[in-house]
Amino acid sequence: MGIRDYPERKRFKEILRTMGVLVVGEGEEIRALINLSSRVCPDLIILDEKLGVTKTLPYTKIFYESRLCPVILYVEQLDWEYLEDFKKGPTLSLLVKPVTALSLMGAIYTALTNFNTYLELVTQKEDLEKRLEERRLIDRAKALLMRWENFTEDEAYHYLREESRKHNISMGKVAIGIIEKYT
């Protein structure tokens, strides 16, 4: 938890404690909080919009892209300009003063839900990229087999599939072997 005002931080801890949430770390400096989070792996982090002279909104990207944890950004007030910046960034939930147990619970739920959705989308994206790359390799290997072995496209595909089954490896790995052999 990164809340700059000690009494406010203490109040947050008390609300979280009554909700059954364990606070595993706190601080007033963004870089220290990033380091702590990478070591402790918290379920989420609550960041004040400003820690010292540092605006924290740009730093939320670090938590997001490294998949450390969801971020709740705690702000004193909202204006349109801030909301526009918020939309561009990766923060997963906003919490506006004054904080109640109910508003904090809603922010936690939103942050965790959005983060899990983000992780699922990233996993799907990575899987699709991997499958697309494997497809490209297979197509390239088929082209090489068609050129150097005079296979038809169907014969080249069948050959790749049979080699994959025979050696119990993916067609992508077979394709890499063929590409290495003929290039």
Query: CATH 3.80.10.10: does it fit domain 128-182?
Result: no
pLDDT, one tens digit per residue, over 138-174 is 999 999 999 999 999 999 999 999 999 999 999 999 9
pLDDT in the model for residue 84: 80
Q: CA angle 24-48-30, nearest 5°?
A: 65
Express as a percent the part of the chain with pLDDT over 90: 72
pLDDT, one tens digit per residue, over 90-117 is 667 899 989 999 999 999 999 999 999 9
DSSP-assigned letter for residue 175: H
Q: Where are the alpha helices (DSSP H) in the chain?
A: 6-18, 30-40, 60-65, 80-88, 101-148, 153-167, 171-182
Query: CATH 3.90.420.10: does it fit domain 6-99?
Result: no
Q: Which pLDDT band holds residue 9 (cuts at 50, 70, 90)?
A: very high
Structural domain spans, the chain: 6-99, 128-182
